[in-house]
Structure formats: C-alpha cells, structure tokens
A = this chain, B = another copy of it.
C-alpha cells in the first residue's frame, strides 16, 4: 500500500506538502503540485478513506433507506434509485442501503453515516425521519411529497402527469372517465385526483359520484374497484388507477370477465413500474422520473448547507408512456 509518506520520500518533500498537493491546496506551487500528482499517478496511489474519515470526521458513506423492502410490487424502483444515487455520488463515497423498518429502533448504530436519503412510501415513515433528524443526520426525503416541508424533499409532479394523460385521452375521443383512488390520507392520492379533476373540468366533462371508487394502492383493491365500476348500469369507458398495481388488478379483473382492453374498457396506470410494459395488453401509464429524482436528491444531500437552503421542495415532471391499454 502506497501512502503519502512514500510519495513524499520519493519527491523529496514532506508528507504535508503531498497531502496539500493532492487536495489541490492553493498554498502549493503549481509546479510541485504537478510533479506530485504525476508521481501519485505512476505509483498508483489510492487515498486511504479510513484515515481520511478519522481525521475529517466524515465516513464518506451515505445511506439509502427503503421502506417495505419485500412487499408486493412496490419496491420496483430500487434499482433505478440506486443507479441514480451512485451516478451522482463522488467516487470516494459509498452508498449503503437499509430497509427502513429494520433499523427504526436502533438508530444509534447509524451514527456512522454522513447523510441519508429516505425513499418514503407513506407518512408512517415520519417517525423514522424525525428520529434521523434528531441525530443531526443530513437527509432528503425522496418519492413522497411532504405536506410541511421541514426537510429537503424531492418528488414528482403527479397532478401534472395525470392532467396531461387525461387531456391525451380526451383528445382520443374518450369522455366517460372513472377513477380508482389510493389510500385517502396519502398526499399522492390527493395530487393524482387533482390532475384528474382538473382535466375533466377544463374539458367541461363531468362524472357521477359512483365513478370514483377508493382503493388502497394494492392490486386486490384495483380488481375490486374495476369490478364495481364495470358492473354499473352505465359503465365508464376509461378507468384511471392511481397506481400501476391497481391498474394491473383492474386488468386482471377484465381478463377474467372476458372484457377486451381497450375496446371494451381502457385502463390507465400511474408509476410505470418495470412490469407494466409486460401486462396484457401493455399498460398505458404515467412515468415517474425515478432516476432523475434520485440524482436530484443526491445533489441536494451533498450541497453544502446554506447553499440552497431557501428551496426545500422539488417537483420533477412526469411523462406519458403510451402503450396499448388506452
């Protein structure tokens, strides 16, 4: 293992100078800097992160917390999130991962990390987030929109996505829209419904109260919801499901009932989980920019405090993914 002292000896300078040169300190003459950097290169010097950590009081570890790691189809984005973060993180950093629930009662042992990104699905995670904050760990909350943004927060602009999708559908000539909502207390439920209503209102379209059934973001609830909607005496032409899981449930119901999609009934999802391209027929849905959101979250986490502190909350635009279910 080659250390700065080795380099110092060969270069005929002190190890202090080497340290400064490698850290691009303004104190060092460009010439020495150049020489030392080249030397480090040829000697194949790699800084010892452990030593840096000790003296700098930084671990160079940031941690991603994920909720409900092993349930349902909900952690489909884990891969994209990890990629987004790693692509943004400087190379000396490591990205550690933990299931949120796993560490919720054992926060002390997280004292090691420099920062945290919490991929949150529901407001049940708030206790955990508060606890992290109390430990003075810099954090950003990803994926879920915070009502009162006391923490840095990046999510997608859900209302905008649904609005655009509905406009698209209206342009196709559809006019009878129903929806299966998510868990009532969730902010995402509200936002998505907002986009839905706005598009319809703008197009001077209305819908009867029974066209709006409430689900809970699970596949099963999508199935039940579709069944309810489609056994109405005057059924809708389009069902907007507040997430892909429910859309898949709805599709399954239609398949069972022998209904053709989109001829008999069109289905729209939200999220664009990796699987949604493989449903039958492939699901038309609204894509969340998970990768970009993760990048942004990482940038925010790394930003020196004070740099950007005025804005806490960031919304990234969703996009339409038109497949064949509408």
Contacts and interface: CB of A to CB of B under 8 A. Distances in A.
Contact of A274 (B73, B108, B252): B73
A171 interface: no
B102 A86 contact: yes
Contacts of A112: 49-50, 94
Interface in A75-133: 75-76, 78-80, 82-83, 86-87, 91-92, 94-99, 102, 106, 108-109, 111-113
A54 B61 contact: no
A134 to B, nearest CB: 14
A48 B86 CA distance: 25
A10 to B, nearest CB: 20
B219 A278 contact: yes
A251 B280 contact: yes
B91 A94 contact: no
B91 A278 contact: no
B80 A79 contact: no
Interface stretch (A64-72, A156-164, A184-192, A305-313): A64-72
Given A91-B106, A252-B278, A278-B248, A98 B86 contact: yes
A278 B53 contact: no
A209 to B, nearest CB: 30
A298 interface: no
Contacts of A80: 69-70
A140 B95 CA distance: 20
A182 to B, nearest CB: 17
Contacts of A99: 79, 82-83, 86
A31 interface: no
Contact of A50 (B50, B69, B91, B109): B50
Interface string A35-76: 000000000101011110110010101010010011011011
B274 A72 contact: yes
Interface residues of A, number: 53
A112 B51 CA distance: 11
A275 interface: yes
B46 A50 contact: no
B83 A70 contact: yes
Contacts of A274: 72-73
Contacts of A48: 54
A108 B255 contact: no
Nearest to A290: B70
A234 interface: no
Contacts of A275: 73, 275, 278
A248 B275 CA distance: 10
A20 B307 CA distance: 44
Contacts of A102: 83, 86-87
20 contacts: A46-B109, A50-B54, A61-B94, A66-B82, A70-B79, A70-B83, A70-B291, A72-B274, A73-B278, A75-B78, A76-B76, A83-B102, A87-B102, A91-B106, A91-B109, A95-B96, A96-B97, A255-B255, A255-B280, A275-B275
